Structure 1
Amino acid sequence: MAKQRRGGAAGNVGVLSRAVFGSPEGVVTPGGRGTRRFVRLLPALMIVGGLLFDSQAPPNFTAVPLFVAAPLIAAPFFSLSRTVRTGIAAVLSVLAMRFIDGTSTQVVPVIEFITVLTASVLALVINAVVRRSNEQLASARVIAETAMRAVLPTPTERIGGLQVAARYEAAQADEFVGGDLFAVADTPYGVRLVVGDVRGKGLEAVEAVAVIIGAFREAAEQERSLEGVAQRLERALAREGTRRYGLDAMEGFITAVLAEIPPGAGALRVVNRGHPEPILLHADGELEVLAPSVPAMPLGMDLGVWPDRADTWTMPAGSTLLAFTDGLSEARDANGAFYDPAARLRGRIFPGPEELLSALTDDVRLHTGGRSTDDMALLAVGRPAEGQPVRRTTVKIVGRGDGAER
């Protein structure tokens, strides 16, 4: 195929680029600002590069692959209108180059034109499929968030005269379905709470969370002892296992810590079933790690009868109980070092539970560099100091680095 090269074609590159990519509207690329900018410009760069290559290369070379790639690259990331403009620009570029070199009626240029046109039409189909999938994914996320909030409702900011704050930190942005759980209840025996972690992810984990939360709310009102509450949770999991024709003991277990704060006594009772040890922070910055006197197995591990034993601690005015899942204590930095909440919190003083959780989530995000790999549930319950007003709190569900208020 003979071509007559003309430098005038390259002079139209700037006009073409501005006509096709005049605004960032419709770009749906993830990542940082630099990544989004590069993807937004990539189809234009392909067309501009194709024009420059075709105007300068020897006659037996062609830039058609670049013109074919431009609309296909735009399809999954751009709006329909921008994908259409990209396809039109690619087709017109091929036509312009062949009219300029006088070969527009030859067989090979016609095939090139048909190829680019076909790729542009295919790009529109891809764009429609991707947008439909994005809509379905967005709908699924809304359903998942609604389901999770129904299963794991936000505790009120004041329960039984105590200050309460809770967070659910998802490892992935916009992820709401997980196996971490927390609940707080004001009962005739004091304020009772549970924080737990179901092994596994997805809807099966949410089902187990629903079982535990439902059983806890009922048992917390009826059982006279915290040990009795733990046994009710155990029986609830056993019934669920029977209904589902038997859960594998190594697949269905749940680590959990239960606590009870009786009214006015300054006491704190804790039952720990294989869960990370909670922390009691005092008003002067000192803290205690509430290690169980007798280690116990997680809930749902059918390995024999293990009597529960509640340990009693003193919870004076101005102190705060912090319970969390292993998404906090097993968060790693770039060197693989685990996050140590006790060491990071020792000596620090916080006005209330909400400020404690805000500082804690910021610190663990700094520790991991935003690379968390597990969900994290946090629950802080504070006994106000004498004369201290109870402050209003805000609960958030966030992903890695960003979030939405609840």
Structure 2
Amino acid sequence: MPHQPASAALQRFRVIDLTQVRAGPTACRQLADWGADVIQVQMPEHMRGDDTLGGQDGSDYQYTHRNKRSITLNLKEPEGIETLKKLIATADVVVENFRPDVKFRLGIDYETLAQDNPGLVYASISGFGQTGPLAQRPGFDQIAQGMGGLMSVTGLPGDGPVRVGIPIADLCAGIFAAQGILVALLEREQSGRGQWVHSSLLEAMVYMMDFQTARVLADDEVPQQAGNFHPTSIPTGVYKARDGYMNIAVFGSKIWERFCAILGAPEWVTDSRYHDKASRSVNRDALNAEINKRLAHEDRAYWVQQFNEGGVACGMINDMREVFQEAQVQHLGMVKEVVSKWQGKQQLVGQPVQLERTPSTIARATPRRGEHTEEVLAELGVASEELQRLKARGVY
């Protein structure tokens, strides 16, 4: 079946996805969800060596590779490389996450491919960058979380470093790469030329440290673990009501006054221990104990309503099942349905950005490995007899 765009926004672009695992496939999923014709190139089944995120039938793989077409090509065979180059000649974008030297060895680096396709936008995602002392190291999400500083500020004070519960370095590197691709495509409209775009897990992680980087670079202050409490805005963090935990965020003196009034403690506004930000920082533990003591008299739902009506940000701490029971999540329509010919009806989370005129949807369930090989190669003009010869030689 020909390309089924998930949106009209990017349907004019063709993307060749040479990636594995998560960061690269995430970048390509972003483009596919906005309508690009993303063609995922994998090794043939008989010689598969790529990590398929728990297997093709796993929920992780199904979520990551929707809206794509899949072909197989044996890139260890000259004819496989030759066929890939023919495919790339029809493309706007190539995305790869080989180790930096592999693309040069295969002859599919940017400089080589741009000779025949000068408008090509070529995106590389790596663990540590394309050059430098660590460029050849294998990249892994948790390694980047540690090296980028995230684990040093995550967790309870004194308990040692803690990783976050999602592969945030992988995901951010993929999303930033997709953003870079879109910027390069926009620039191409002026110059007519493509370019090499590259990002890495380490760069993404350092960038995502955001205000924590400013504390080091501008203030010469090394951030420490603050557990569930905001390091500089107090009181902001996790608090316990009668029936469980919730988040409360108090930013600024006016919000602090409202918070005290709602909690029935207006005297805290003038209390020397709590009356300003510096005092609350010194007496954080005592203040948090007092807050929890008062919160224990009512359930979370009561406090969430009271605080929000009073202009103080407050929300439940949901498990993942409860997330999808939230009325606002349901209203936003974040869960999309698609039918897989292999697995039947599926529910997957859609894009978190809404374009009113050219919305994103899930038009195609995740394909099986090589499901569209003959279809795509036929689009390149490869005759059926040649397809069978290539198949017999193990080229796909």
TM-score, length of structure 2 as denominator length: 0.28
| RCO comparison, higher one (Cα < 8 Å, 6+) | 2
TM-score, length of structure 1 as denominator length: 0.28
Larger radius of gyration: 1
